[in-house]
């Protein structure tokens, strides 16, 4: 079955719960389905399986944001068969997701979805495009500022803890144990 065609009226939610997460998932995949770039990929991959996908994604986000721990799956494995994914697909996925979240939740709730989405996108991008793929700068910057919001740290403290890898370093120096020239 296709995602619901009708938008549900809503006011931005202050707290994520199972009901508004299901509504977020429905709204996001309606936009994906309508999108000229992403729509055909999802239509092809999820033909006859939309309902199961929407239920699974509700469980996934509830596990991440509400801590329900009900999601049992492997996100990397699920995307491995998608051979025709390019950087522009990630850019579009993130644009649609971040925009949908920010219209449906108050900012403090929205960031709880945004940060994991950006982190998972980054790990999928590195798997798809190689460990030396340079994550787009705007994406790196957005993730860093969301992290600062969450931890309340200043830019310098935050970047000292997790150096950005936008220049294509295989791993942050602090994690790989290989110091870069400047540090
Ligand atoms: C280019 C961007 C993306 C595309 C085209 C894409 C496409 C898909 C497709 C087609 C599936 C269904 C797989 C199947 O059941 O056969 C799927 C599953 C899924 N996607 Fe994505 N995806 C993208 C990015 C992301 C991102 C950034 C996230 C981060 C939250 C994400 C999270 C998931 C999860 C959790 C599943 C379910 C995995 C499972 O089966 O357990 N996807 N994706």
The model's pTM is: 0.84
- Rounded Cα gap, residues 65 and 47, in angstroms: 28
Q: Is the pLDDT of residue 162 over 60?
A: no
Assess contact for 13 and 103: CB atoms under 8 A. Answer: no
- The per-residue pLDDT for range 26-62, each reduced to its tens digit, is 999 999 999 999 999 999 999 999 999 999 999 999 9
Alpha-carbon dihedral sign for residues 172, 174, 177, 178: positive
Q: If you write DSSP's letter for every residue of 29-42 in order, what string do you get?
A: HHHHHH-TTTHHHH
Around ligand 1, the residues with Cβ closer than 6 Å are 38, 41-42, 45-46, 53, 56, 60, 73, 75, 78-79, 82, 85, 89-90, 93, 117, 120-121, 124
**One CATH from 3.20.20.70, 1.10.490.10, 3.40.640.10, 3.40.50.20 for 18-71+85-169:** 1.10.490.10
What's residue 181's pLDDT? 40
What's residue 160's pLDDT? 47
What's residue 150's pLDDT? 84
Confidence band of 173 (pLDDT split at 50, 70, 90): very low
- Rounded Cα gap, residues 140 and 43, in angstroms: 29
Assess contact for 14 and 106: CB atoms under 8 A. Answer: yes
What's residue 152's pLDDT? 82
Q: Which one-letter DSSP state was computed for residue 147?
A: H
Between the CA of 106 and the centroid of ligand 1 the distance, in Å, is: 25
């Amino acid at each position: 079955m296709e995602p619901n065609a009708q938008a549900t009226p809503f006011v931005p939610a202050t707290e994520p719960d199972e009901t508004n997460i299901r509504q977020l998932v429905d709204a996001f995949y309606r936009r994906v389905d309508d999108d000229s770039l992403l729509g055909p990929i999802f239509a092809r991959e999820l033909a006859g399986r939309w309902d199961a996908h929407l239920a699974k994604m509700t469980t996934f986000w509830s596990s991440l944001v509400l801590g329900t721990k009900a999601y049992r799956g492997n996100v990397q494995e699920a995307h491995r068969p998608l051979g025709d994914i390019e950087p522009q697909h990630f850019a579009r996925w993130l644009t649609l997701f971040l925009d949908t979240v920010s219209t449906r939740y108050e900012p403090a709730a929205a960031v709880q979805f945004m940060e994991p989405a950006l982190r998972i996108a980054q790990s999928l991008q590195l798997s798809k495009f190689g460990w030396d793929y340079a994550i787009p700068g705007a994406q790196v910057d957005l993730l860093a500022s969301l992290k600062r919001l969450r931890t309340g740290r200043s830019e310098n403290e935050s970047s000292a803890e997790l150096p950005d890898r936008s220049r294509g370093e295989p791993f942050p120096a602090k994690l790989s144990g290989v110091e870069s020239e400047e540090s």
